[in-house]
Amino acid sequence: MDKRADQLHVYFLPMMAPGHMIPLVDMARQFARHGVKVTIVTTPLNATKFTKTIQKDREVGSDICIRTTEFPCKEAGLPEGCENLASTTTSEMTMKFIKALYLFEQPVEKFMEEDHPDCLVAGTFFAWAVDVAAKLGIPRLAFNGTGLLPMCAYNCLMEHKPHLKVESETEEFVIPGLPDTIKMSRSKLSQHWVDEKETPMTPIIKDFMRAEATSYGAIVNSFYELEPNYVQHFREVVGRKVWHVGPVSLCNKDNEEKSQRGQDSSLSEQKCLDWLNTKEPKSVIYICFGSMSIFSSDQLLEIATALEASDQQFIWVVRQNTTNEEQEKWMPEGFEEKVNGRGLIIKGWAPQVLILDHEATGGFVTHCGWNSLLEGVSAGVPMVTWPLSAEQFFNEKLLVEILKIGVPVGVQAWSQRTDSRVPINRENILRAVTKLMVGQEAEEMQGRAAALGKSAKMAVEKDIARQFGRHGVKAPIITTLLNASKFSKTIQRDREMGSDISIHTVKFPCKEAGLPEGCENIASTTRPIAVSKPIERFLEEDHPDCLTAAPQFSWAVELAAKLGIPRLAFNGTGFFPFCALHGLMEHKPHLKVESEMEEFVIPGLPDKIKMSRQKLSEHLKDEKETPMTALVKDMMRA
């Protein structure tokens, strides 16, 4: 890979917890794929969770590496090997772990003094990161691990304190100043919000919020269409810069990447796929409560009983408490036999993205952690909401009340501790699962979820012009009036977000080409020579530095040459068809066989690719010149 002296170098410092590390590592990989030099700083034990993935990225050209520093277990009073928040088992251990993060300042600062990065992206828990970045004269971007709605809600709670003006834990109050009417109760907030008096966590929270407020800006794993009102609120009311770069889980394209996010699955990806492949589309409900949630035996019994009664196909991920000798006694007698074939139980870590993305999955019972929420949205599935702690009750509001793709199971109290949770009874679980999977309302939710899933995928697979615009390039798009109407709203929204992108329209020469009025799509026309003149006029007026044009506009290469600028061709397909077509045009193996069905090898390709003439378009099969042959040759010349 060609390294430039001015290559942007970004440091990533993820909080050592699955819900923070997984998305921030994915985000770092996305930066590297866009040509940025990336360094991820973590501990040796945490590095093992994504070393394979980073190595694969390096092998395909990404300039990305990991630097490790020891976790101060001994200094923090933690057992050896307790390097991840998921390893803490008590609130006392959690507090020690968070305080240990302050001991990372010196080793991270030393790394940065050696490497001279241009920017630091650090988890919110590293409050000192803003001071280190300021000392080195570079920006610090804060990564919170959640979306903008909870961030805006917390800001309003801090400012207006509506939770201190109600008389009971269960009395609802409206969070003032938000774009939507969001009702909450004190019972659904963590204790450090509820208590007026100082707790050990209070000064730490204040330090986090100070650091966030003084950072250059925030970077979130979200996308505009998911929470547009809160993007605007965060920028205009909270008054902070924010960039949404998600959903980052969609950067994992193949099954291996999807199944190995964070750590290897307890069940092979192939066994999951084999089971799902036997099911009808949208027939399976997936139940998982994240990487850090352990339920009591009583609660597991209620879930099992509800699933048995539901008659739904399901995959259920059970996180085992290995210190509990009676961990299997919760299961109803004969449960696994009764649900055999329609239920799959995974004990431990599951390939969540792989399961959610499968066409058989039609619903998701979730704890409403932000990553799980976003993965469910990206897969286009509606959800049963079962929030437990953190910001999850706010995420439930987003799913149920704003997006209307969620059914609440009825949790009323925030709690991190297994033994303090009131179990949700089987009747409520069954009601929520049935409402999500069966009936007219379920179909409507599935429709809304599917539309949102498409928006999520579009957010990370934007068309080229919008990508250029979002990277600070002035990007005019030239098309016809009718075609412009298909994306003018999207472009307008990008302009409102600050992209320098515009549309120039020309009249399509239907009459001159002998086409019916309104036939303005390139797929249904012949070579649009008559369009070149108005486009040339636009280019002469605007003086662009480069022209990116589809191959059908073969005259674009001459026009660009006339103006002394480069022309880049965009074909709309991949390299493989490019190379295969070139091999056919150069060697003409299809003209050396005796029948339409006889196979031939396309010479000169890296792989042995067999083809027959019957699988080629007519203009390739004919030896004689046709109107289309001349056009194709002109496109390839250009």
Residues 328 and 377 in one domain: yes
Place of tokens 């630097």: 67
Residue 477, phi then psi, degrees to nearest 5: -110, 130
DSSP strand pairing (383-385 vs 64-68): unpaired
Last residue of a domain, one of 441, 460, 479: 460
How far apart (Å, rounded) are the C-alpha atoms in residues 434 and 314?
A: 12
584 compared with 222, residue with greater pLDDT: 222
How far apart (Å, rounded) are the C-alpha atoms in residues 150 and 529?
A: 54
Q: What's the pTM value of the predicted model, to 2 decimals?
A: 0.71
521 compared with 310, residue with greater pLDDT: 310
Check residue 566 and give its pLDDT.
Answer: 81
535 compared with 263, residue with greater pLDDT: 535
How far apart (Å, rounded) are the C-alpha atoms in residues 205 and 192?
A: 9
Instruction: Give tens-digit pLDDT for 327-380.
Output: 467 788 888 888 888 999 998 888 999 999 999 999 999 999 999 999 999 999
Would residue 166 count as lying in a domain? no
Last residue of a domain, one of 143, 163, 193: 143
Residues 451 and 330 in one domain: yes
**pLDDT class for 473, splitting at 50, 70, 90?**
low
Q: Which domain holds residue 55?
A: 9-143
Closest to 142 (Cα-Cα) out of 5, 27, 293, 266: 27
In the predicted structure, residue 616 carries a pLDDT above the cut 70: yes
Closest to 475 (Cα-Cα) out of 459, 464, 487: 464
Check residue 419 and give its pLDDT.
Answer: 62
What tokens were used for 188?
A: 């659904």
Instruction: Give tens-digit pLDDT for 66-91.
Output: 999 999 999 999 999 999 998 888 88
Closest to 257 (Cα-Cα) out of 56, 10, 540: 56
Residues 389 and 532 in one domain: no
- Which one-letter amino acid corresponds to residue 291? S
Closest to 141 (Cα-Cα) out of 130, 149, 131, 132: 130
Annotate 79-106 with three-state secondary structure.
CCCCCCHHHCCCHHHHHHHHHHHHHHHH
Would residue 84 count as lying in a domain? yes
488 compared with 341, residue with greater pLDDT: 341
Annotate 554-565 with three-state secondary structure.
CCHHHHHHHHCC
523 compared with 396, residue with greater pLDDT: 396
Check residue 463 and give its pLDDT.
Answer: 53
Would residue 292 count as lying in a domain? yes
How far apart (Å, rounded) are the C-alpha atoms in residues 609 and 560?
A: 36
Residues 263 and 385 in one domain: yes
Would residue 175 count as lying in a domain? no
Residues 136 and 123 in one domain: yes
592 compared with 400, residue with greater pLDDT: 400
- Cα four-point dihedral sign 418, 419, 422, 425: positive
518 compared with 27, residue with greater pLDDT: 27
Check residue 262 and give its pLDDT.
Answer: 52
Share of the chain above pLDDT 70, in %: 87
Which residues fall within 8 angstroms of residue 553, CB to CB, at 6 or more apart? 528, 531, 532
The DSSP string of 30-88 is HHHHTT-EEEEEE-HHHHTTTHHHHHHHHHTT--EEEEE----HHHHT--TT--SGGG-
**pLDDT class for 525, splitting at 50, 70, 90?**
very low
Residues 582 and 439 in one domain: no
Would residue 212 count as lying in a domain? no
Highest mean pLDDT among 89-98, 431-440, 481-490, 602-611 belongs to 431-440
In the predicted structure, residue 259 carries a pLDDT above the cut 60: no
**pLDDT class for 255, splitting at 50, 70, 90?**
low
- Cα four-point dihedral sign 520, 521, 525, 531: positive
> Distance of CA 256 to CAs 211, 221, 269, 274, 487, Å?
37, 22, 8, 15, 34
In the predicted structure, residue 464 carries a pLDDT above the cut 60: no
Which residues fall within 8 angstroms of residue 42, CB to CB, at 6 or more apart? 13, 14, 16, 21, 66, 68
Last residue of a domain, one of 569, 588, 607: 569
Instruction: Give me the sheet containing 406-408, strands edge to edge.
Output: 343-347, 313-318, 284-288, 361-366, 383-385, 406-408
Domains held by the chain: number: 4
Check residue 573 and give its pLDDT.
Answer: 78
Mean pLDDT is lowest, of 161-170, 217-226, 528-537, for 528-537
Residues 502 and 596 in one domain: no
What tokens were used for 126?
A: 């590293």
In the predicted structure, residue 520 carries a pLDDT above the cut 80: no
- Which one-letter amino acid corresponds to residue 57? D
Would residue 224 count as lying in a domain? no
Q: Which residues of 500-514 are buried (b: 16+ CB within 10 A; e: fewer)?
A: ebbbbbbebbbeeee
**Span 160-184, mean pLDDT?**
94
Residues 269 and 374 in one domain: yes
**pLDDT class for 151, splitting at 50, 70, 90?**
very high
How far apart (Å, rounded) are the C-alpha atoms in residues 529 and 527?
A: 6
Which CATH number do you get for residue 32?
Answer: 3.40.50.2000
Check residue 322 and give its pLDDT.
Answer: 46
Residues 303 and 450 in one domain: yes
Would residue 165 count as lying in a domain? no
**pLDDT class for 4, splitting at 50, 70, 90?**
low
Check residue 3 and give its pLDDT.
Answer: 47
Residues 376 and 271 in one domain: yes
How far apart (Å, rounded) are the C-alpha atoms in residues 423 and 303?
A: 10
DSSP code for 329: T
What tokens were used for 106?
A: 């010196």
Share of the chain above pLDDT 90, in %: 49
How far apart (Å, rounded) are the C-alpha atoms in residues 435 and 408?
A: 10
List the beta strands (DSSP E) in 301-359: 313-318, 343-347
Residues 353 and 451 in one domain: yes
Residues 319 and 430 in one domain: yes
Which CATH number do you get for residue 487?
Answer: 3.40.50
Closest to 185 (Cα-Cα) out of 202, 197, 201, 168: 168
> Distance of CA 317 to CAs 287, 300, 346, 526, 594, Å?
6, 11, 5, 55, 58
Would residue 171 count as lying in a domain? no
